A and B are shown apart, each in its own frame.
Chain A
Amino acid sequence: MTDIPEGEETEMNMTPMIDIVFQLIIFFLITLKFKTIDRRIDSQLPKDRGLAPTPAKPPEFEKIKVKLFRKNKGVEAEAFTRIRVGNNKSDTVDLPKGSWPGEATAEYKKLDEVAPYFGKITNIIKKKWAAQGNNPEVTGEIAAMPPDGGAVPHGDIMRVLDIFIQLGIGKVVFEGAAPPLMASEGGTMTGSALTR
């Protein structure tokens, strides 16, 4: 014991460091996320609206207009989305009350709950499109106008857009209120969904 060999003290004990480094690797492996979204819908805003418009061709077909309203929007639990296709009151569908849940099991329950309502809207749109000969040039329009339109959840609008795309109506126009910033810069917002 008294005979300590030269330089023996300089050898480091690597074990704690390796322990920590492995812990770090495990932490990064767990937190690493390569992907957060799986799908998207491409869309094109029109260049013929706003301050610097380019001339647009007059539409040859009647637009299939879907209007969305948020009723009872003041009370979260009582609020619901009313969807009307065209101007006919009989083509109106009221979605179930409440907002979209974030919790995984609840969101699928909600999805099943709203499925028949969106099925009904699909049928109405299908009928209106068939009346125009299922022409691909027919434009869909999603209008969420003030005062009730702005409060419609993004999820409901995307479902309506999804219906148009599922049916094969590739051109969808959005209409709504201008932001508080640019009230003087045109009051409508439009866009077309492109299907690839």
Chain B
Amino acid sequence: MAKKRLNKAVVEGDESKLNMTPMIDMTFLLVVFFMLSIDLTTKEFIPVDLPFAYKGIEDIEENQDETPRFVINLLSSGEVVFKGQTYSLSSDDPTAQETALRRMREELVALTRDPKFREDDGASMIPVMIHGDRAAKWQYVQWIMQVCAHPSIKIYKMQFAVKKPVSEEEKGN
């Protein structure tokens, strides 16, 4: 059997055929890598038009504490997107707003239960980043901050996502 195949290959020029297997292996690995990384990066931040600020810390690994952080997205409409859940604060109905804030509080209480992330005085070590649209009403930000500082959550560390305006020289490039 083996002999027959070899002979045929030699005769019909089969040697010139490329071995596709390693390439396909690599390609599949790439596909798997992209599938996994894409899932991790797009969940946290919802695209919004961030407020402008000239000062601020660059949001890079070195400036990031060890603890995880929660990203609360605030859209211009008043919708809050947090951990894949949407809470609508924009309603004119105070009862609906109350329900949304209560749900958000319950979610945060459940997420901050771990005593590992608590300071000695009970305050949470986990910062909350408010990734808000610049056109969103400030009162929603206030409400989110107040929910975070609730005695059952005790998150006092806040971060505001901002965008540095591009300077004149950079604009020209």
Interface, chain A (partner B; CB < 8 A): 5-6, 14, 17-18, 21-22, 24-25, 28-29, 31-34, 36-47, 49-52, 54, 68, 99-100, 102, 107-108, 111, 144, 146, 149-159, 161-162, 165-166, 174, 176-182, 185, 189, 191, 195-196
A43 vs B164: C-alpha distance in the bound complex, in angstroms?
Answer: 17
29 contacts between A and B (CB under 8 A): A18-B27, A25-B30, A28-B34, A28-B38, A37-B59, A37-B163, A38-B59, A38-B163, A41-B53, A42-B157, A44-B158, A50-B149, A107-B49, A111-B165, A152-B137, A154-B135, A154-B141, A158-B134, A158-B162, A162-B162, A165-B53, A174-B142, A174-B145, A176-B139, A179-B97, A182-B101, A182-B146, A189-B149, A195-B55
Q: Are A100 and B148 in contact (CB under 8 A)?
A: no
Known: A155-B51, A159-B53, A177-B139. A28 touches B156 (CB 8 A): no
B34 touches A45 (CB 8 A): no
| Chain A residues with CB under 8 A of B47 | 36
Task: Please tell me if the beta carbons of A37 and B50 are within 8 angstroms of each other in the complex.
Answer: yes
Q: Which secondary structure dominates where chain B touches chain A?
A: mixed
Q: Provided the pairs A99-B135, A155-B135 are in contact, do residues A180 and B101 lie with their beta carbons within 8 angstroms?
A: yes
How many whole Å from A110's CB to the nearest CB in chain B? 9
Of B37, B74, B143, B158, which contacts A191 at CB under 8 A?
B158
CB pair B138–A150 under 8 Å, yes or no, is yes
Interface class of chain A by DSSP: mixed
Q: Are B53 and A153 in contact (CB under 8 A)?
A: no
Give the residue name and chain of the B residue nearest to A107 (CB): B49
Checking B24, B58, B135, B149 against A18 with a beta-carbon cut-off of 8 angstroms, the contacting residue is: B24
For the complex formed, measure the closest distance between the CB of B7 and the CB atoms of chain A, giving whole angstroms.
11
B24 & A21 in contact (Cβ 8 Å cutoff): yes
Q: Are A47 and B31 in contact (CB under 8 A)?
A: no
**Residues A25 and B27 in contact, CB atoms below 8 Å apart:** yes
Contact indicator A181/B28 (Cβ below 8 Å)? no
* Known A37-B50, A50-B150, A154-B74: A45·B158 in contact at CB below 8 Å: yes
CB of B151 within 8 A of CB of A51, answer yes
Chain B neighbourhood of A34, CB < 8 A: 41
B126 at the binding interface (Cβ < 8 Å): no
Contacts of B142 in A (CB 8 A): 144, 150, 174, 176-177, 179, 189
- Give B75-117 interface residues, CB cut-off 8 Å to A: 76, 94, 97-98, 101-102, 105
In this assembly, does B10 line the interface, its C-beta being within 8 Å of a C-beta of chain A?
no
Q: Are A36 and B45 in contact (CB under 8 A)?
A: yes
**Are A153's CB and B135's CB within 8 A?**
yes
